[in-house]
Amino acid sequence: MGKFSKALEKSTHPAAPEASKVHPVSGPRSGDKMSGSEKASSSQALDTGLARQRWDRRLQLSTGPNSLFFESFRRLRASILFPSSGPRPKTLLVTSTVPHEGKGFVCANLGVALSRGMENYAMMVDCDLRHPTLAGLFGISSPTGLSDYLQDEKADVSLLLRKTGQPKLSLFPSGVPPKNPSELLESSRMTDLIHELGNRYQDRIILFDTPPGIVASETATLAQHVDRVILVVRYGASKKEDVKRFVDTLGHEKIHDVVFNAYPENAVESFLEKKMGYNYGYYHYEAGK
């Protein structure tokens, strides 16, 4: 039995997440005078707080300080920053085999987790030009993005990046869905962009949220130009043969992690249901070895 078959077999026995710790932080007392740097920091914190209020409620809950769910993304972050073998991946493609497996939500949570590291910066690129989700999750209204860049040779990447409300995390949104998404994503301009982002932003790990591999041929093409792939597999929805075929297409050596989504009867599912009546599920990963 291969490693991915074993990983899929394990999906019925999820590991319980560890409880995250909350550390109280004391602020300035009434009457204390604030220095210029303290005022700037306070203003930045206010702007960040207001931006986070625009986040999708699911993202607010999943990344909150008391979220057990988010602990699994810290573990996934550790596997990326400290791989068991080989160099640390700089560019990562996040995808699934079929639609509605939660890849966008995984990408958003992983982006937040990476940027919360002490010395880590992250960037997300929404390459799902048919059904983009990242801008909506972060409450960003942006009519321009990747589709505009790919169609305009004079477009400047730096002018299309957006702040997310999470320090050290930026978003390159998808832009308006084009009529020819496959052709744009398989173009040499897209390939050049992947390499440019990796070289231009040396301090960042870059996540590319791409269309599901079974329904979009361009995903396999894009995967050949990134360091590694994170594959999202939804419990009860993904067919084992589809996952195996897709992994064989990409090449086993490309898979960094397999993320299992929506285990039945788990703590996070219960947490989200109680908070907002939304059944999303728990994420777990199996390292690709």
Residues near 9 by Cβ (< 8 Å), separated by ≥ 6? 1
Average pLDDT over residues 116-129: 94
Q: Is residue 19 part of a domain?
A: no
Q: Is residue 199 part of a domain?
A: yes
Q: Is residue 97 part of a domain?
A: yes
Q: Is residue 173 part of a domain?
A: yes
- CATH code at 47? 3.40.50.300
Q: Is residue 121 part of a domain?
A: yes
Give residue-wise pLDDT tens across range 157-171.
999 999 999 999 999
> In whole angstroms, what is the distance from residue 207 CA to residue 194 CA?
10
Q: Is residue 2 part of a domain?
A: no
Q: Is residue 3 part of a domain?
A: no
How many structural domains compose the chain?
A: 1
Q: Distance of CA 184 to CAs 38, 128, 191, 223, Å?
A: 45, 11, 10, 15
Beta strand 169-172 with 162-163: parallel, antiparallel or unpaired? antiparallel
Query: Would the pLDDT of 150 be above 90?
Result: yes
Q: Is residue 228 part of a domain?
A: yes
This prediction's pTM: 0.78
Name the residue range of residue 162's domain.
Answer: 36-287
